[in-house]
Chain A
């Protein structure tokens, strides 16, 4: 029963106009802004991961240096991976709630069935 409902969503008559959404200004902004954050955050998390591994692999003496009793540079670098992960996660969730959700809604409004006919010729490839 549910799978039939699922299927029907794919049918042309029920499908909202994705071309209109794609051409809309809020959608362009959504893709650009979310893409910018995702690229920067991915680079940050992978970069810090690389720094950790390089220090461990190439400078093990530095990694073994004690900062405070019992805590080595390497251990703290490992711990900082968690801090980076938590901060980026928190930032992405806040941005999604404050910026991206609004843009998503605006982009979807641009594809609402009412404007379907008017926009079919305004599509850029």
Chain B
């Protein structure tokens, strides 16, 4: 057990729980629970959105991938930034203008509400639960590596903190935990980058040439091919990160927390700027770890490369066993832990909205269930959290996290992205089109993941589908099914709202949800 790191973790959990207590006093109505009372400012929401994508997978995973395979690792952040432009151009203002609490609000606005809501809610829950299990397995493994705490208590403690934020503090606590984390992570990233740059004498070229010289592959380290990934694999992963990320429900629901579309727009702008700076820092940290760390560090970093950033912190702080090294590692490790806590809270909240607002209040109670919506949402959050913790404990620390993330992003890209985009932009899109698109994207993702090398029971070589991520097929299938479904059905308009009304609403904000504070 490492004392300094455990104390840093405890301090962090203490601060976030204090925020939760504060938020719980301000969270009573459904609008407060799901949308933080629409009280979040543009820069705050920008930090929270960027924070959703500054996960352990990007901070530890991307830096580790760059440490291990150089250029191939750099491809990941470079394609993920595309998602932020798509979010700003296609979704940010439209979500705020046309929806209330969930993605299904926008998708079902002018279609037959109950079937479309049910399908969208199912896709949202699947994405959230899969992503949640991936994050929790990652949390358990990471905490064990950083503090020596066992996998089971690590997962249970993480899960309990996550449930406390969401069940008691709703979106307000979830957002502020995310903001605190994002600020801490930017500070950690900045400190690590500065340490690397001082080490190489602020010579940008020297950073990369030293890194290549330290890597067994030499100059090939700065060229494609280091990860051994095929072209189709790269393409599929890139589509998952660029398109799937743009349609992640726990990111999109953040646009409901701001007062109006103008703020939604500016928050997406803040997010693009912040995540861009963060991703460039991951390159300095990832390549820097290779340039700075002694060759013996290779073994400690591990096969996934996840410990490259914490080890770099230890080295820059003065080395193993020194006070500075211990303190800097403790800080970076606590921030990595905070990252997981903040991201899982957002995931639980998005799934609880799908259960309470979509399935319960609008599908089962046909819009008559609003009075108890917040209570149901709190219960749903607790239920989903407990189920995810149980799956994580049953799966164990050896579970393949990369395939879970691939599946979640693929469902988001194949099931959510086409239907959401077409519902807002294509006049002839119908209920049948939406249902067939969502289910085709979902089924294709799940089936292809089972047939892929990392899951197929017959072993990687005999797997029928040889690409790591299903996105390359699931995304076109999703669009195609939306299109065919719409062509084959004759429905012209939803029963209550027309495409023209949605268009006016999403473009101008006419009739959109107002801020509680205004009245």
Residues of A with Cβ closer than 8 Å to B? 1-3, 5-7, 9-10, 15-16, 18-19, 21-22, 27, 30-31, 34, 38, 41-42, 45-46, 49, 52-53, 56-58, 60-61, 63-64, 66, 68-72, 74-75, 77-79, 81-82, 84-86, 88-90, 92-93, 96, 101, 104, 107-108, 111
Contacts and interface: CB of A to CB of B under 8 A. Distances in A.
B391 interface: no
Interface stretch (B117-125, B261-269, B305-313, B318-326): B261-269
Interface stretch (B130-138, B176-184, B476-484, B504-512): B504-512
Contacts of B84: 85, 89
Contact of A53 (B79, B85, B220, B370): B79
Interface in B492-512: 500-501, 503-505, 507-511
Nearest to A68: B205
Contacts of B32: 2
A72 B272 contact: no
B510 A70 contact: no
Contacts of B370: 3, 7
Contact of B273 (A6, A38, A57, A86): A86
A70 B476 CA distance: 37
Given A9-B511, A18-B504, A60-B223, A81 B81 contact: yes
B293 interface: no
Given A3-B370, A22-B500, A70 B212 contact: yes
A27 B504 contact: yes
Nearest to A23: B500
Given A42-B90, A56-B224, A9 B280 contact: no
A41 B85 contact: yes
A74 B223 contact: yes
A71 B71 CA distance: 10
Given A60-B223, A66-B222, A85-B81, A21 B510 contact: yes
Contact of A104 (B75, B280, B507): B507
Contact of A81 (B37, B82, B205): B82
A18 B508 CA distance: 10
B89 interface: yes
Given A56-B75, A64-B223, A88-B89, 9 more contacts: A2-B30, A15-B511, A34-B507, A49-B242, A53-B238, A56-B234, A78-B77, A92-B88, A92-B265
B238 A6 contact: no
Contacts of B295: none
Interface string B341-381: 00000000000000000000000000000100100000000
Interface in B80-105: 81-82, 84-86, 88-90, 100
Interface string B211-235: 1100000011011110000010011
B89 A41 contact: yes
Interface residues of B, number: 65
Interface of B: 29-32, 37, 71, 74-75, 77-79, 81-82, 84-86, 88-90, 100, 204-209, 211-212, 219-220, 222-225, 231, 234-235, 238, 242, 262, 265-266, 268-269, 272-273, 276, 279-280, 370, 373, 500-501, 503-505, 507-511, 513-514, 516, 519
A75 B262 CA distance: 35
Contacts of A90: 269
Query: Which one of A31, A42, A85, A90 has the highest number of Cβ atoms from chain B below 10 Å of its Cβ?
Result: A85
A49 B240 CA distance: 13
A57 B231 contact: yes
B288 to A, nearest CB: 12
A86 B276 CA distance: 8
A44 to B, nearest CB: 9
Contacts of B501: 18, 22
Contacts of B505: 18
A19 B235 CA distance: 44
B272 A74 contact: no
A3 B29 contact: yes
